[in-house]
C-alpha cells in the first residue's frame, strides 16, 4: 500500500493545507497572511504548484487571481492518512492504534475524555450487537 499523497507532505505544505481547510479557499496572499512561519510569496506559490501536482489542491480563476481549494475534504484526508498509518504501523489493528494513543497521552486525558471514550466503546458494542 503506497502512502496517500497527503501523508507525505512537508511542514510548509501541511501548513498551507491547514489554511485551505480552515478557510475553504484562499489566494496566495491570504495563505501567506495566515502562515504560522514566515514564507515568501514565491515559496508559497512553489509549494502550491507541488500540491497541485500531487492532486491535493485545485484552483479557480477569480479575474487575474488564482484561488486555491483543497481537492479533498479534511475528513477524507484524515481518514485516508489514518488508514495508512494503521496498516503501516499497527498491522491494521484498531485496538493496537488506540492503545498506542492512550499510552502516549494517559497523563493528558481528563476524566471527561476517559468517560467519552468509554461511551464510544459501549456504543460500538451496541452497534455490533445489532
Give bridge partners of residue 57 from the DSSP assignment.
70
Q: What angle do CA 9, 35, 2 make, to 5 degrees?
A: 10
Average pLDDT, the chain: 88
Same domain, 63 and 112: no
Alpha-carbon span 88 to 83, nearest angstrom: 8
Q: What is the mean pLDDT of residues 13-26?
A: 93
**Residue labelled with grid coordinates 485496538:** 95
Query: By C-alpha distance, which of 78, 13, 80, 79 is closest to 48?
Result: 13
Any domain includes 24: yes
Tell me which residue range forms the domain holding 38: 5-70
Any domain includes 50: yes
Residue 115, sorted as left (phi over 0), alpha (psi -120 to 50) or beta, turns out to be alpha
Q: How many domains does the chain have?
A: 2
Q: What is the pLDDT of residues 68-96, one digit of tens each?
A: 999 988 888 888 888 888 888 999 898 89
Any domain includes 23: yes
Same domain, 9 and 66: yes
Predicted confidence band of residue 99 (pLDDT cuts 50, 70, 90):
confident
Q: What is the pTM of this model?
A: 0.67
Q: What is the mean pLDDT of residues 4-10?
A: 67
Is pLDDT at 60 greater than 90 in this prediction?
Answer: yes
Assigned C-alpha cell, 89: 504501523
CB atoms within 10 A of CB 9: 19
Any domain includes 61: yes
Instruction: Give the per-residue pLDDT at 24.
Output: 94
**Residue labelled with grid coordinates 475553504:** 24
Amino acid at each position: 500500500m503506497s502512502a496517500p499523497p497527503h501523508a507525505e507532505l512537508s511542514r510548509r505544505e501541511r501548513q498551507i493545507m491547514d489554511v485551505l481547510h480552515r478557510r475553504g479557499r484562499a489566494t496566495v496572499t491570504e495563505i501567506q497572511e495566515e502562515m504560522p512561519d514566515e514564507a515568501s510569496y514565491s515559496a508559497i506559490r512553489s509549494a502550491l504548484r507541488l500540491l497541485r501536482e500531487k492532486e491535493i489542491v485545485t484552483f479557480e480563476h477569480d479575474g487575474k487571481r488564482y484561488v486555491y481549494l483543497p481537492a479533498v475534504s479534511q475528513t477524507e484526508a484524515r481518514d485516508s492518512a489514518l488508514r495508512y498509518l494503521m496498516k503501516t504501523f499497527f498491522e491494521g489493528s484498531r485496538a493496537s492504534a488506540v492503545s498506542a494513543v492512550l499510552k502516549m497521552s494517559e497523563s493528558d486525558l481528563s476524566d471527561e475524555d476517559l468517560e467519552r471514550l468509554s461511551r464510544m466503546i459501549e456504543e460500538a458494542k451496541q452497534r455490533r450487537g445489532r
